Structures are given as C-alpha cells and as structure tokens.
Amino acid sequence: MRKLSLLIAGLFLFGLFTAGMKPAHAAEGSAAKDVTLTQLAPHVWMHTSTGTADGNPVPANGLLLETSKGIVLIDTPWNDSLTEQLMTQIKKRFPGKRMTDAIVTHAHDDRIGGLNTLYKYGVKVHSTKLTADFARQQGYDRPLGDLKNVTKLQFGDMKIETFYPGKGHTEDNITVWLPEDKLLFGGCLIKALETKEIVPTPGFYPDQWPRAVRKVMKRYRDISIVVPGHGSPGDDRLLPHTINLLKET
C-alpha cells in the first residue's frame, strides 16, 4: 500500500508539473463558487473553495482524509455555505461515512469560516489553544484547543501529526503531516511555486517566518507532496521557495 501511495503521488506530481501546476481531470465542479476535490493519494483529497480577500477572489486549499472510522477534514472552506456544499459531496462520494473530526490550522476565514456548519453536524474540531482563543474572539464556538507544539493523532487506520513551528503567516499557524503518504499540508505558512510575492497581511511575522519554515524542513526530510494554503501542490521545493520570497518582503 505504501509503494502504491508513493507511485500515485509521483504520477500526480508529474501531471501537475507538466500541466503548469494545474490539477487536471480531478476536480468536481467548474464554477468559482463551487468546492472542488482533487485526489492526491489513495485516501487523501485536496478541497479548494474560493472566497474574497480585499475584494478579490482567492482560492484556498484544505484536505479531506478518508479513514476506516470516518472522514477527517483539514481546514474548512471559506464559509458555511461552501462547507455545507462540501458535506453534500462527502455524502455522495463516501456513502455510509460521516465526518467525525476536523483540524484547523489557524484562525483566518479560509481555515475556520465553516466552523458553525461543522458544529451543526457534530464534528469534533481540533486546534491549538491559541487558535481556539482567536476563533472565540471572532464569535465562533471555541474549538477543542487540544493540540500541542507536536501532536500525534490516530483516526482509524490513519496517522496524523500536527506541528507548530512558531510564528509566520500568523501567530498560530500549524502544519499537518501524513507519514504514510509523505504528504505535508503546509497551510498558509507555505507558498505555491507560482506565488511571486508575499503580500503583507495583518498579524504576520516576516522576521520569524523563515525560521518557522526551516523548522518544518528540519523535521520532515522525506516529503513527496506539499500542499500550500493557496495555489498548486508540489514537492519540497515549496519550502525554500517560501523562504526566498520572504527575503524580498
């Protein structure tokens, strides 16, 4: 199974690179208002939804994990409407399975905007204490706040590790590691290769951000796939690319 996962990951990345980093023939829905799903590994999908930032449309990525016990979500779509749409897709794609847990990687709308929908469905939402506090300050019911600097989790047959590398894109940003697939969800801490500049956002830490990325690079040395919070997935080149962008910020 592990060899199969790596083979599929390799073929997927080859397709992205040769197609200009655009996932082809794997998305459901074509309009910007839709949530799309792109399969990255046998039991891992990237969900992408489009919201607005400063009046501009901005696609954002999260993950959908199929485990033997149910579905685990990494970050919500931008809002409750898009998250409800994702729930509908899950019912169709995974009949008989429900979403049991979610992990949110920091407290921006493109990560927690659908929290109320998750709570409606009885999903357990995991986060760091800092993210939980920020979410509550924004008017959401507080996530569990149960994640530490490093937290090893097991959902059915799937192992997951969350890692807090320090301040960067936000004070509370974390990454998610799937060891069986050698897949790193970098979230907004990591930038896609097509990203040409880092736009300053409120509450970011440009001086500390490179150190946080280096901590991720040191911890995970055998990465097959990296999924950024925005833009196309790729390989471990996304990490030094992010550091290089920060040198120009």
Q: pLDDT tens track of the chain, all 249 residues? A: 434 444 444 444 444 433 333 332 233 333 346 899 999 999 999 999 999 988 899 999 999 999 999 999 999 999 999 999 999 999 999 999 999 999 999 999 999 999 999 999 999 999 999 999 999 999 999 999 999 999 999 999 999 999 999 999 999 999 999 999 999 999 999 999 999 999 888 899 999 999 999 999 999 999 999 999 999 999 999 999 999 999 988
Question: What are the two backbone dihedrals, phi and then psi, of residue 65, each rounded to the nearest 5 degrees?
Answer: -115, 130
First to last CA, the chain: 42
Rounded to 5°, angle at Cα 233 from 31 and 100? 75
Say if pTM beats, i.e. exceeds, 0.75.
yes
| pLDDT tens by residue, 119-140 | 999 999 999 999 999 999 999 9
Beta bridge partner(s), residue 232: none
The candidate with the shortest Cα–Cα distance to 74, out of 60, 89, 84, 88, is: 60
Instruction: Specify the amino acid at residue 58.
Output: V
All structural domains of the chain, each given as residue ranges with its CATH number in brackets, are: 2-182 (3.60.15.10)
Residue 242, helix vs strand vs coil: helix
Alpha helices in the chain (DSSP H): 2-18, 80-93, 109-112, 115-120, 129-137, 209-219, 238-247
- Residue for token pair 């409606």: 120
